[in-house]
Amino acid sequence: MGTALSPRPLLLLALVSAAVVAACDASSTDGGGTTGAPSPATTPTAPKPPPTGPDDAPPVSDPLTSPDVTCSGAAGSFYSFTLQTLTYKEPLPTCRFEGKVLLAVNVASQCGYTPQYAPLEALYQKYKAQGFYVLGFPSNSFNQELGDEKEISQFCADEYKITFPMFSLANVNPPDEQPLYTWLKAQPGYGAAIPWNFEKWIISKKGQVAKRIAYTTSPDDAEVTAAIEAELAK
156 is catalytic: no
Backbone angles phi, psi at 15, to 5 degrees: -65, -40
Q: How far apart are CA 200 and CA 220, in angstroms?
A: 12
Instruction: Count the Cβ atoms, other than its own, within 10 Å of residue 56.
Output: 9
Q: How far apart are CA 60 and CA 97, in angstroms?
A: 12
Which residues participate in catalysis according to the annotation? Answer: 111
